[in-house]
Amino acid sequence: MSMTGPALPESQQTQAMIDRIARMRPGSTAEALRELRTAFPEIPLTTRVTALEAMRRAGPSR
């Protein structure tokens, strides 16, 4: 079951994905994208990549 739906604003979708990545601590970008695709299949790839980039910019404190 997905944690978010298309009805949520993009900023909330992005935050939900960032939170998911932070919890799972993937070993690679590819692993993170696979997890996000599984958890958020209805969200476009561009939005999933945006979440990864936002987390990268935030640095290791996340």
User: Model confidence over 11-60: pLDDT tens digits?
Assistant: 888 899 999 999 988 999 999 999 999 999 999 999 999 999 988 888 76
Give 32: exposed, middle or buried? Use CB within 10 Å, 0-12, 13-18, 19+: buried
- CA atoms of 52 and 38, how far apart (whole Å): 15
- CA atoms of 9 and 22, how far apart (whole Å): 20
pLDDT at 62: 44
User: Model confidence over 1-13: pLDDT tens digits?
Assistant: 445 455 667 788 8
What single-letter DSSP state applies at residue 3?
A: S
Q: Is residue 13 within 8 Å of residue 43, measured between CB atoms?
A: yes
Q: What is the pTM of this model?
A: 0.72
